[in-house]
Amino acid sequence: MFDTLFHYPRVLARHCEGPAAKERELYLANYASGGAAHSTLLGLAPELLVIARRIDLDGERSIPFSEIEAAADRWVDCQRRHRRVRLANFSKARFIRTATAWFRFLGRLVELEESPPEFAGLVSEFEHYLRDERGLSRHTIDNRCWHVQVFLRWLGLRGIGLAELQLEQVDTFLALKHTQGWCRVSMATAVKALRSFFRYGGEKGWCVPVLAVGVEGPRLFSQESLPEGQKWEDVRQLIASADTNSPKDIRDRAILLLLAVYGLRSGEVVGLTLDDVDWEHDILHVSRPKQRCKQKYPLAVEVGEAILRYLERVRPRIGSRSLFLTTKAPFRPLAPTSLHHLVSTRLKALNIRCRKHGPHSLRHACATHLVAEGLSLKQIGDHLGHRSPYATRTYAKVDLAGLRQVADFALGDLL
């Protein structure tokens, strides 16, 4: 594989004689088989060599995520110390991302999601409890288990068992996450997950039952803030910015229309498949994870044309049934997190000012626009896929015309 990438003898020798040459060549060959461009492989090969020189792959040992992070820190410090410019774009985050993908491909990665050995099986049992007894949605289960796993890893690194766990140690963990930048909503979500875990653990005898009662998080006030979405004129400007012949813009325009017109969540957009678009009847089928059902929408002309243009001119012809794929090889379905980058970078490039720059802000913009158009909260809730009117009532605060009517109402006429 190396001889097809490099032609200068010294460069070729450096890659062939470097550590873990066989493993690096195997990964590059796999990337190439997925359709990766020659330039992509030329950039990936030196990155793999940097990683192999800093993480020992001798033998068959597994590589923990903590070792990857430590190696990335050492590499960054070395670059700063010597003021090197080679691989300037190879940042710490990219070092971790590339190493994680490589070691996972080799089957040598100790996944970040894995719990310490002393807690093995607890999260799995907790997951079964949430699914089989509580009947929670897949999204809620994954969210709670993730928070529990983060806490158990922190606990395991300090050699603390659940049996001797005290409230002070839980508070220390939460305070640490606050200093690391977790917002109040994230903190409250973590507390909710830990309470659920401690409650179940107390029943099973894993920990003292008082933990579930004593864990406290920040107070959240219902409807304390206005929905943070863009003005509808800004949304139109955002969609218009993607109206070009660029393959990426063609794909992104279809995604932006789905986010803005239907108010879909990120997971709902990336979860769309080719089978969800019924071209014969002009129907769009959207999977609603929270409701555990599929909702039908009439396929708007502009949205349908944008999706059709993407399918005919941009989407790779591969076996995946996912509607939206990456535009560069190796082709794969988009992740929900990729939509945040898609929306935020475009909003910032247009200098559109808004507190929230993610795809969920377009959902708020859609709902606010529907309020301005005179739709009832029930109609808006149905359009957004809300399970109850409670989730929709926050948009009543943006109905300025209705609020003015209330303010102008003469209470004396009631007497």
Q: How do residues 221-255 score in pLDDT, each as one tens digit?
A: 554 555 566 788 888 999 999 999 999 999 999 99
| 364 in active site | no
| 395 in active site | yes
Q: What token pair was written down for 247?
A: 């393959």
Please answer whether residues 191 and 215 qualify as being in contact, where contact means their C-beta atoms are separated by less than 8 angstroms: yes
pLDDT in tens, 112-128: 444 555 676 888 899 99
Residues of the chain with pLDDT under 70: 34, 59-60, 82-90, 111-118, 120, 220-229, 290-291, 377, 386-415
Q: Structure pTM?
A: 0.59
| 386 in active site | yes
Asked if the 117-214 domain carries CATH number 1.10.10.10, the reply is no
| 290 in active site | yes
Task: State residue 273's pLDDT score.
Answer: 93
The CA distances from residue 280 to 257, 283, 299, in Å, are 21, 8, 11
Looking at 144, 253, 357, 360, which residue is catalytic?
Answer: 360
| 265 in active site | yes
How far apart are alpha carbons 248 and 263 in whole angstroms?
21
Looking at 15, 144, 251, 265, which residue is catalytic?
Answer: 265
Helix axes 138-157, 184-204, angle to 10 degrees: 80
Looking at 14, 290, 393, 397, which residue is catalytic?
Answer: 290
How far apart are alpha carbons 344 and 318 in whole angstroms?
29
- Each domain of the chain, given as residue ranges in start order, spans 2-110, 117-214, 232-359
277: amino acid identity, one letter: V
How far apart are alpha carbons 120 and 156 in whole angstroms?
11
| 134 in active site | no
The CATH homologous superfamily for domain 232-359 is Intergrase catalytic core (1.10.443.10)
pLDDT in tens, 172-216: 988 888 887 777 878 888 899 999 999 999 999 998 888 888 888
Task: State residue 64's pLDDT score.
Answer: 77
Residues 6+ apart with CB under 8 A from 110: 62, 63, 64, 65
Looking at 147, 315, 363, 364, which residue is catalytic?
Answer: 363
